Every structure is written in structure tokens, then in C-alpha cells.
Structure 1
Amino acid sequence: MQLSYWEVKNWFTGVDYTVIGSGIVGLNTALRLRERFPKSRILILEKGALPQGASTKNAGFACFGSLSEIIEDLKNHSEDDVLHLIEKRWKGLGLLRKRVGDAALDYRPYGGYELFLKQDESTYAECRAKMPFVNDLLRPMFKSDVYNLQTDRFNFGKTREQLVFNPFEGQIDSGMMMQALLKQVAAADIQLLNSQELIGYETLQDGVVVQLKDFSFTTRKLVLATNGFAAQQGISGVVPARAQVLITEPIPNLDLKGTFHLDKGYYYFRNVGDRILFGGARNLDFVGETTTTLANTKIIQDQLELMLKEVILPQHKFTIAQRWSGIMGMGPDKNPIVQSLSDHVYCGVKLSGIGIAIGGLIGQELADLV
């Protein structure tokens, strides 16, 4: 593609900061850079027509971890590390709500629930036994108990009578969130170009040559906010993890509000008005779901439909309206990676499926590092 004089002059000359990825992290990074450097030229490049990771494809959970997930994390991390992770998520949610506003997020504080299949005696017993300990651990942060037992009033099938309830969890409209951030980016005079994929880059003494499919340009600093696609840019410690999701048509007389976790977070569902959005089952095929291909598979979609029919909506008929998938960034631990890759190249990746909670905070930390 040939660029005109005007295009080179107004888009690709004197670029101070180039952010790769227009998801939650990328947009928040650019906005923080504008706050720090009000006269700089900032450019965001996105390879898709819309963000290609998970920012507009997630379930819209404003959460920081179910009880069983935290118990599992405590087996693999120190108490201090787990508390630090939860603190970052809680702080990140607060930062997101402050930056965007609850109305623009369509934030709904319905609370979150964890349910347990009748056959999963061990997880249920462990959660009941360790709930007081986890509540004690989190009380200094939340000033009250986070988790408590409630009787199932939703008439789920094949599950235990009692659920674990978390009043601090909520839900948002992910599309509204991203549109609000995009409006802020435009208002801050930050350029955003879609359908521009990073092919490679070369670090120079005083900047970085950015190679796109059809042309290249020079930027002072390059910031990679590509999360699940980080390995494609040579960033180690991050593997892609596809998450498949479906949503039903409206269901008459649906009496279900909140965010719900099942099987240590491998299944998750919520109401979207009078629809049910349901995702997960990645644990059925870890190898197959370690991919950057946006697609659905029969094994997982069939399982989601079966769980809808037998567990979530045993008393309702439903029709599937849409199916989609998103790409997360995972690693051997849940600590995000915010680091310098060279003198002028930086990255903020590996959000471990909790991007709504920590994406804004990671963007801020990344911009401050730059």
C-alpha cells in the first residue's frame, strides 16, 4: 500500500508512543500516557476491526475470584501473593468504575454465586471448611465477610442446596465499557487505526521501527498490549487460552440475576437481562483450547448446552441466539507481566482471564513504566 504525503505527515511522523492492541490494557495505557505526556503523539494499532482478544468477547464479570479459586490459589501461591493478586483486582475494578462510571459500564451489583454439583463432594466440603479462614484473610481489605452460604433459590438442577454468595461481585456490559473507553481515547486526541497488524519491529538507538503488513514507520516507544497473542511477538511465559461462550434468546419468566461460578471457575454464567450468557468448559480440552483461533468446537458447545439444560435451566426451554469465543493470556502463575523488553519496547500481558478487574490497572502500570 502506498501512503500519501498527508498520511505520512499526519499519522506516522513524530510518533512518540505506539500501543499495539486496542483492548482494555491498550486503551488504558494510551489514556494514562496522555495524562503523563499531554503534548505527545500517541498511536494505537489494532489488527482487527474490533479488539481481537477478549475485551469485547468476555462475559462481563466484575469479579476478583470465587471461593474455590482462591482456595486453589492458596495451594500454589503464598498467602501474601494471593492477597496481593486480590488487592490488584479489587483496586483495578475501582479504577475502572472511576474512569468509566457505573452508568457507562451498565454496572449492576447483583452479587456473585458459586454453586456445586452434587457429585463434587470434595470441593463443596473444602469450601465450607475453609470459608472462615478465607474470610479472615480478606476482612482487612473488605471490612466484612466476603463469602457466606445461602440456600439455592434459583432451582438449579443436580447441584447442592447451598450456594456461596459474594456481595462484592457485579456485572457489566463489556461492549459499553469499550465504547466508553474509545470515546475517551478520541477525546484525548489519541489516534487509533484498525486492521493494522504488527508483523515485527526493530529496536534502534533512539526508537523503534514498526513493521506493518504494507509499510513501516518509526516510533520513540513501542508498547505491546496483546495479552493472549503475546507469544506471537516473542514474549515468553504467556500461552493463549480460548474461551467459548454462548447466549440464549430471551427466556420468559427468568428469575435469575447475578454472576455464577461452577467447577472452580471453569464454568461461568450470568443473566443479561432475561437471557443467560454461559461460557467455559475449557478444561474438557486444554490442548485444543490453547490456540489463537477464534472458533467454536462441538465438544465444548455440546457440553455447554447440556449443562444449560440439566443444571442451569432445568425448568425452562431455551434457544441459543449466538456463540462466540475470545482469546485470553495464561501462564504458570496468575501474576501479570508488566516489563521492559528492550530500551524502547514494553509489554503488559498475561491477564489470566481476569482482564475486566485488572486491565485498567495494568494499563496504568505499563504507562508509568514507559
Structure 2
Amino acid sequence: MRQGLIDDNRSAWLEALPPYERLPALRGHVSADLAIIGGGITGVSTAWHLAERYPDRRIVLLEARGLGNGASGRNGGQVLNGINGVEPREATLAQRVFAATSAGIDIVEALAAASTIDCGFSRRGCLEVYTTEASAREAEARVATWRDWGLPMRWLAGNATGNAIGMHGIHGAVLDPTAGMVNCAALLRGLRPRLLARGVTVHEDTPVLRVEHGQPVILHTAEGSVRAAAVVVATNAYTPQLGLFTRGILPLHSHVVATAPLSAERWQQLGLEGFADDLDRIAYGGRMSDGRMLFGGGSNAAYTCSFGGSPVFPADAGARNFAAIEARMRGYFPGLADVPVTHRWTGPLAITFDRICSMGVTGPHRNIYYALGYSGHGLALGALAGRVLRDLYSDDHGPWQGLPFFQKRLPIIPPEPFRWLGYQLYTRLTGRSPRQR
């Protein structure tokens, strides 16, 4: 296996997959009952759920490259409960959010069982670790409240040497025993034969160049078009390139590294699967299915905002970013000083100003369905979105009304050049990520 994959920006998740031949690009003009733009977790889950409910309807999925090539194949691998940006203050909302996102994890588990490729799905829990005594005390109190509300989180005591948790400088951690890890790229590519068997038409290497609104919607591609009664937009950070949600989404490049595989004994000593810390520029990581340590975040250097909002990061850039991430990783895990970093890659995030995602239906003819803005928390929510959008397409809004993401209006992010300038100034002056609070 090649080392230090900065040259082609291929993630360790993708590198671990068996040979994959993309399906032919769309050529010519076709019609469909429903067209899905995007072959990530949101698009594939939506195709799966809709084909299950409506086996006689023609569903066409268009993916710009290969299934799982975007954020779904470049993420931290954690399948988590909760909605980024939402901190419920009362029991009813906390229970509803937990039930909804737990259903998302259940969907990932069911899709993993159906996948023709082993995606290494595990559900052994993930940690949120706390780096100060004060934040640890507050977290311990929150866990007591959550348990009173019937949520299964547990508090793990720690100390500054990390003896109880396996990380240096940690004062405690919240364990969600129901969370998990997955190679989402393997999951999605392994589901492709199942989608085809369900009658879904999949075209890869088919970027949508323009969306023509109307009844029907017309999706224009390089060599053809799709006329569809309804469209699902499942493109997350790439969505503004379609002329949609241009003022509500900030594409960010998230840089990630992975080490050579660790032994099972070493992982046992670390005592963790997936983890994230409590800092504003969150550091996160976990155990990949092949035994590697994945690590991302930890400072401003872990994220890059491109002028104009392009979700595509230059493949030959980012050396300083990766060096900063590796330094943070070795600070948390000094015992891994002898373990080399073998993979470095970048993936696109879709950030909203308040970090809360949105799922709903829009457009002048109310025939554009969407789920986006996961803000780095999208595996469980993206899988859940397939069920949400299926129900909205079926005009069954009831199960999702009152949840924070349902028809969420995204706060406005300033246009260029103020967007890029504001991001640069704020992050450099504060070391934090700009957001509406």
C-alpha cells in the first residue's frame, strides 16, 4: 500500500476497498419518477428506502464520481447519536432526538448487514472526552441528568494522565454505548448491487451541471438529462454548486490522517473505539476496521475554507495542515510516537452557521427534497435522512415534525468576499470556528 497519499487524496477508507468499476455515465435523455443527486450515505439511503416502499417507480441516482467518493468515504467513521448544534434542555426533546438518531444508527447497522462488502461496522460505543476539570464536572452532571431522562450514556472518570481512558490530558469521558464505527465507502459500494436488484438505476461519473426547476424538474448532465417528477438533493457540501442553499452552506475542507495498523493488544491498552474531545476545533478519531488509528481536527489547521466555497481541495496542498493534526494526535497518544502516519486526505464538510442540519422539501413546485448541512455529524443523520425523505415524499410529515432538523431554515452566511475574509479573521484571532450561537 502506498504511503502518505497526499498525491491523489485517496482516503484510507477507500484504499481498503476491493477493486471497483464505476457504472457507465448517463448518456441521452431519460425520464424518472424520482431522481437522486449524490451517491453518499444520504443519496443511497434515500434510494434504498424509496425503492423498498415504491418498487414500481423509476428511481435514477446520479453520482458525480463513484459511490462514497465524497464525505461519505472521507470521514471519521463514527456513527453517533445527537444532532450537532442541538443541546436539549428538557427530557421530551432529548428523548426524541436520541430515538431519531438511534434509528439512524439502526439503519446503518441494517444496511451494513445487507452490503456485499464487509464494511467493518461495530457498535461498541464512542467517547466524548473532556480536557479540563471544569468541563469534566459539567459533563458528569449532564450525564446524571440524561440518565434521569432514560438515556444510556455513562460517565467514565479519568485524570490528567489518561490512565482510565487511554488518552493523555483527559479528565473524564462520556460513553455512548450505542454508537458505532463504519467504513461508509465500503458500505455504499457494497450496497450498489442491492440497489440495482431493487430496480434503482445508478449512473456514476455523472455530475449534474444544472437544475432546471419546474414540473417536471430537469437535471442537465454533460451528455444527457433526466426529467423527473421529483428530485432529492443529497450533495451536502457540493449543494451550492447546483445553485441551491448558496447562502446557508459553508463548504469546509477537513483534513484527516491515519496511522499504520496497531496491534489488537495496543488497542486494548488504549481502551477506545471512536472518540472526540470537547474543544471548539474538535479533535476526533477512532479505530478503523483494519486496525489503523484515524485522527482529524484539533486546531484551525485541520480545516480550510476556499474563496468562493469550492468543496474540492487541491490534491497537492495541505502539508502544514497534516503536520498540525499529527502533532495533536501524538500529544493525545504519546505512546504512538513510533507508529508512522501512512495516509493523509481531505474531505468536504457542509457547515451551517448554527451547525444544525436541515431536512425538508422546497422549490417553487414543492418537488425538491433535501437533507444537508450535517456539520461533520452526518453518518447516522445521513442514513436517517433516507427514511425522513421517503416519508416526506409520501406526504407523511408527522413522525418528524418538532425535530430540530425538520424544515429547518438555515441561517444566512454572508456572501463573498465577506464570507472568506470573515472566516479567516475570526479563526486566526480567536482560534475558534465562527458560528451563530
TM-score of the superposed pair, with normalisation by structure 2: 0.71
After TM superposition, the structure 1 stretch with the greater mean CA deviation from structure 2, 232-241 or 100-109, is 100-109
2:18 maps to: none
Q: 1:14 and 1:170, CA in 2 relative to 1: closer, same or farther beyond 3 A?
A: closer
Q: 1:1-370 counterparts in 2 under 5 A? A: 8=28, 12-64=29-81, 73-74=86-87, 79=90, 84-101=96-113, 104-117=118-131, 121=132, 124-137=133-146, 139-142=148-151, 144-150=152-158, 152-153=162-163, 158-160=168-170, 162-204=172-214, 206-236=215-245, 237-252=248-263, 254-255=266-267, 256=270, 257-264=272-279, 266-272=282-288, 273-281=290-298, 283-284=300-301, 288=305, 291-294=310-313, 295=315, 297-333=318-354, 334-343=356-365, 344-370=367-393
* Contact persistence 1:242–1:327 (CA under 8 A): yes
Deviation at 1:245, TM superposition (A): 1.0
Q: 1:352 and 1:155, CA in 2 relative to 1: closer, same or farther beyond 3 A?
A: closer
CA distance in 2 between partners of 1:108 and 1:286 (Å)? 28
CA distance in 2 between partners of 1:33 and 1:24 (Å)? 14
Deviation at 1:154, TM superposition (A): 7.2
Q: 1:62 and 1:217, CA in 2 relative to 1: closer, same or farther beyond 3 A?
A: closer
The residue type paired with residue 112 of structure 1 is: C
Structure 2 stretches of 5 or more lacking a match?
1-25, 394-437
The residue type paired with residue 101 of structure 2 is: R
CA distance in 1 between partners of 2:330 and 2:303 (Å)? 24
TM-score of the superposed pair, with normalisation by structure 1: 0.82
Deviation at 1:101, TM superposition (A): 2.6
Deviation at 1:225, TM superposition (A): 0.7
Deviations 1:315-337 (A, max 9, x none): 54021211111112221231323
Deviations 1:151-172 (A, max 9, x none): 6347856513544433233222
CA distance in 2 between partners of 1:41 and 1:63 (Å)? 32
Deviation at 1:240, TM superposition (A): 1.3
Q: 1:131 and 1:102, CA in 2 relative to 1: closer, same or farther beyond 3 A?
A: farther
Q: Please tell me the root mean square deviation across aligned C-alpha atoms, in Å.
A: 3.0
CA distance in 2 between partners of 1:278 and 1:145 (Å)? 23
The residue type paired with residue 122 of structure 2 is: R
* Contact persistence 2:68–2:184 (CA under 8 A): no
Structure 1 stretches of 5 or more lacking a match?
1-5
Deviation at 1:281, TM superposition (A): 3.4
The residue type paired with residue 160 of structure 1 is: I
* Contact persistence 2:258–2:294 (CA under 8 A): yes
Deviation at 1:299, TM superposition (A): 3.3
